[in-house]
Amino acid sequence: MTGTIARRLASIVPVMCIVAICVFLLLHFAPGDPAAIMAGDNATPQNIAAIREKLGLDQPVWRQFVVWVGNLLRGDLGTSLFWGDSVTSLIAQRAEPTLSLALTTIALAVVVAITLGVVAAARVGSLIDRVVMGFAVMGFSVPVFVVGYLLIFVFAINLKWLPVQGYTPISEGVGPWLQHLVLPSFALGMAYVALIARITRATMLDVLAEDYMRTAKAKGVAAAPMLLKHALKNAAVPIVTVVGNGVALLIGGVVITETVFNIPGVGRLVVDAIARRDYPIIQGVIMVFSGVYVLVNLLVDLSYTLFDPRIRG
Amino acid sequence: MKATRRTVMGGSLATVGLATAPGILHAQARPSAARTIRAVLAGDLATYDPIWTTADITAYHGAMVYDTLLGTDANNVPQPQMVKGWAISDDKLTYTFELRDGLRFHDKTPVTSADVVPSIRRWMVRSGQGQLLALRLADLSAVDDKTFRVRLKERFPLVLDMFATTCTPDLFIMRKREAETDPMQKIDQVVGSGPFIFNQNETKAGTQYVYDRNPDYVPRGEPPSGIAGGKVVKVDRVVFVNMPDAQTAVAALQSGEIDFYEIPPTDFLDQLQDDPAVTVENLYDLGSMGYIGINWLYPPFNNLKCRQALLHILNQEDMLRPTFGSPKWYRTCGSYFTCGSPMENDANTGWFKSGPNIALAKQLLAEGGYDGKPIVMLQATNIAYMANAATVMAEQLRGAGIKVDLQPMDWANVVARRANQSPPDQGGWNIFFTSASGLANSTPYMMAHLATIGTKGWFGWPTDEKNEQLRAQWMSAETLEQRKAIAAQIQENAWNIVPLLHFGQWIQPVAHRKNVTGWLHEPGLLVFWNVEKT
């Protein structure tokens, strides 16, 4: 087990190296000039050239890359070109809202989607099954921002039940914190629920068709324990895999959701940074997101041992 | 340790606890919502140094934190602000200013001439207006703690106007420590003597910028007018909220989560005007002028006839309507200077009055030797008025037989691209779109884009000695009548040589909650003193 974890951790290194190279090259070969944006619309070419020189943006790309990688190896993600703050501190400031949104969305999605998937599988072919699958198709098809605006219109503007936008830290009370997360979590969770519900239903149908399930039924095991204890546990590995892979979907969705609901998270940080070509922030956030994605998938792999004793050996 | 579901759950909860702990530690008391104004402005405050950048939002930040020596009143006339008054020598070459009593920086140190002199010097390096002043400056020195003196090499009647300017960068007075920062570097501390104190602890870069009322600020006794008069703060806190999504900002304003929205899109104006809790108001009386940059360095627009052809192709109405909808928010304008400003005139505007003349345009293009090569037009697709203007103008040009290579990109890419002096087919360009504030475009000296000094000038790089001579004459003129007469000559020449084009003028009204009143109308600056929440 320890050897497996060590090997998996070691495999992260080349992945992150490739990500670092791709991120840097893509950004620096993409058009745009932070110095020109920084200088303002009334600036002359001389002003812009002076700023570019001060920021080191006039240096050859390879030299900028060497400096960035050197800093990265020391754990320094760099400094924002605009604010002068360290990228690490900016990400740390924004981590709580993003973490809150991601965790509430995952919790909501897992509970709702697994329930829907199990119910749909148990009642396969019924109206409930069709409704659940119809919802899954819709959840996958409608973009996050459309769902977000609809939720704002109905629940924030018309019914006035929930706030339109913003984020309240959990330190100011769980109530206000949750109030600000309900709509974004629903908006962000739609596609995630759809994905997990479909996989849950399909996997549950496979498991329910197994001989041992028929045996359990013949022995008189009640429906609920049979579904939850016997079927769901054996269907867990593919579901957990999808939950892990879906983190990529979640990361992409976080960026849009935070913009629509004005949540000051890491997603907003990177969107704003892209608009003004604040390279260190974009590079830093992508490195962090990539690291999170790789680690989540490592945890998913390790979690298989919780559900399937055969993998522990 | 064996991994079980219980240990995994326990670890997850501990992680959440650790992540939220800093928020708990830093939680602190804030002024009530009734004494706080939450304002969404046109963009994010990307830098705190209002001398270093010309970005409007940084000038708004500057007006909160710093004070100015003079301020323009509602009639755009310079009035004393930090200074008690000034004396001008008989030969009009020496200006002596005296600072008023009660001026203190937020660190409690007094404002002295030793702070003012380096502040002016740094501004003169960064500001286009300041550079014009520097050319004429013989000496700038502190006489004593409260008095400083400006000596000129030649008469320059714009000294007071420039000290009072609201055309970015404004002349904000900083502590000597920050004022002596290399003008090419940004300042590292935000300590001013203005009516608000920048609250760095509550500010979250990219999210919200917090300003608390300065309890030690001594406002002037005169009533507020423009940015002149008493800066009386009537709330405890102002928060600039960065909210990039327009639809969310409109919804937040309607639900009362924010108090002010600087740039509600015109699509939403009717909806906001129908809301009894919201007021739509025009704070920037001169609005904005649509600006079309023309590259003078390469064919076809390095040719006079081809540039003149553009005047006869352009239809401003068609370029404005898709973005601004109702004519109450826009108008066409043939003047080289902002319509509605004192310099507006109708010299050499026959092309505008008669409307597009495609036959004449084709003739001029033929005389100019246009060879049918596509022109490169930069289109910023993330800014509606630029995107729409480009789409419409591309069609207008095609209608006159010009091939157009319309290149969509985001604004960040346009600002990088427009600085490229390479040929259009090697990364350069022929036409790009932006806008200028109506105030900045109302005189020939405030904005760099009205200079015609070739490749050292603004993007497009027009060269014209006559325009430069006329601008110099305008700046030396002492009366409004003289300035108007020279402005007409500048315009006469400009619409002959076509250094640039305008695609009309528009108003961007603001929207605010009805219970937030007292907004001051100042063409170049948004200010939050005198504003109260009832």
pTM of the model: 0.83
Closest CA to B239 of B265, B257, B215: B257
Q: Which of residues 132-151 of A touch B (CB under 8 A)?
A: 149
Residue B45 φ then ψ, to 5°: -80, 95
SS (H, E, C) A121-158: HHCCCCHHHHHHHHHHHHHHHCCHHHHHHHHHHHHHHH
Interface contact A200, partner B, CB < 8 A: no
Probe site for chain B from A4, A8, A28, A42 (most B CB atoms < 10 A): A42
Probe site for chain A from B9, B48, B53 (most A CB atoms < 10 A): B53
Q: Distance, in angstroms, between A140 CA and closest chain B CA?
A: 23
pLDDT at A1: 67
pLDDT at B31: 82
Nearest chain B residue (CA) to A32? B413
**Cα-only R_g, chain B:** 25
pLDDT at B345: 97
The pLDDT tens digits along chain B (534 residues) read 444 545 544 554 454 444 444 444 444 467 888 899 999 998 888 789 999 888 889 999 999 999 999 999 988 899 999 999 999 999 999 999 999 999 999 999 999 999 999 999 999 998 889 999 999 999 999 999 999 999 999 999 999 999 999 888 999 999 999 999 988 788 989 999 999 999 999 998 888 999 999 999 999 999 999 999 999 999 999 999 999 889 999 999 999 999 999 999 888 998 999 999 999 999 888 899 999 999 999 999 999 999 999 999 999 999 999 998 889 899 999 999 999 999 999 999 999 999 999 999 999 999 999 999 999 999 999 888 999 999 999 999 999 999 999 999 888 788 878 888 999 999 899 999 999 889 889 999 887 788 999 998 889 999 999 999 999 999 999 999 999 999 999 999 999 999 999 999 999 899 999 999 999 988 789 999 999 999
- Give A-chain residues touching B20 at CB under 8 angstroms: 96, 169-171
Q: Are strands B516-517 and B532-533 parallel, antiparallel or unpaired?
A: antiparallel
H-type helices in B202-274, by residue range? 246-254, 266-273
Q: Are strands B208-213 and B404-409 parallel, antiparallel or unpaired?
A: unpaired
The predicted complex's ipTM stands at: 0.76
Interface contact B1, partner A, CB < 8 A: no
Distance of CA B159 to the CA centre of its chain: 20
Q: How far apart, in Å, are the Cα atoms of B30 and each of A43, A264, B210, B263, B393?
A: 38, 19, 11, 27, 51
CB contact under 8 A, A83 and B47: yes
- Give B-chain residues touching A164 at CB under 8 angstroms: 248, 251-252, 255, 257
The residue assigned the tokens 């240990």 is: B7
**What six digits make up the tokens of B26?**
């830093």
Whether the CB-CB separation of B465 and B279 falls below 8 Å is answered with no
Distance of CA B502 to the CA centre of its chain: 17
Nearest chain A residue (CA) to B421? A45
**Backbone region of residue A262 per phi and psi (left: phi > 0; alpha: psi in -120 to 50; beta: other values):** left
Cross-strand bridge partners of residue A86: A79
Angle B48-B50-B56 from CA coordinates, rounded to 5°: 100
- Give A-chain residues touching B251 at CB under 8 angstroms: 152-153, 156-157, 164-165
**What six digits make up the tokens of B349?**
């505007």
Q: Which of residues 391-410 of B touch A (CB under 8 A)?
A: 409-410
Interface contact A55, partner B, CB < 8 A: no
Interface contact A236, partner B, CB < 8 A: no
pLDDT at B113: 98
CA–CA distance, A132 with A152 (Å, rounded to integer): 24
**Taking the C-alpha atoms of B511, B515, B520 and B522 in order, what is their torsion angle to the nearest 10 degrees?**
-10
H-type helices in B279-383, by residue range? 304-313, 316-324, 350-354, 358-367
A-B contacts (CB, under 8 Å): 165
The residue assigned the tokens 């108007």 is: B484
Burial B79-98 (b: 16+ CB within 10 A, else e): bbbbbeebeeeeeebebbbb
SS (H, E, C) A2-48: HHHHHHHHHHHHHHHHHHHHHHHHHHHHCCCCHHHHHHCCCCCHHHH
Closest CA to B268 of B247, B283, B296: B247
Cis amide leading into B169 (omega within 30): yes
Interface contact B24, partner A, CB < 8 A: yes
Interface contact B26, partner A, CB < 8 A: yes
- Give A-chain residues touching B434 at CB under 8 angstroms: 41
Question: How many C-beta neighbours within 10 Å does residue B51 have?
Answer: 29
**What six digits make up the tokens of B177?**
């420590």
Cis amide leading into B300 (omega within 30): yes
Closest CA to A98 of A222, A301, A310, A256: A256
Whether the CB-CB separation of A187 and A258 falls below 8 Å is answered with no
**What six digits make up the tokens of B129?**
């207006």
Whether the CB-CB separation of A274 and A282 falls below 8 Å is answered with yes
CB contact under 8 A, A36 and B416: yes
Probe site for chain B from A28, A262, A277, A281 (most B CB atoms < 10 A): A262
Nearest chain B residue (CA) to A171? B24
pLDDT at B342: 94
CB contact under 8 A, A262 and B26: no
The residue assigned the tokens 């930069």 is: B378
Handedness of CA B47, B53, B55, B58 (dihedral sign): positive
Helix B304-313 × helix B384-399 angle, to 10°? 110
Handedness of CA B215, B218, B221, B225 (dihedral sign): negative
Probe site for chain A from B165, B202, B248 (most A CB atoms < 10 A): B248
- Residues (pLDDT < 70) of chain A are 1, 40-43, 309, 311-313
Contacts of A273 (CB under 8 A, 6+ apart): A80, A281, A282, A285
Q: Distance, in angstroms, between A64 CA and closest chain B CA?
A: 19
CA–CA distance, B145 with B159 (Å, rounded to integer): 21
**Candidates B128, B248, B254; nearest CB to A42:** B128
CA–CA distance, B480 with A78 (Å, rounded to integer): 53
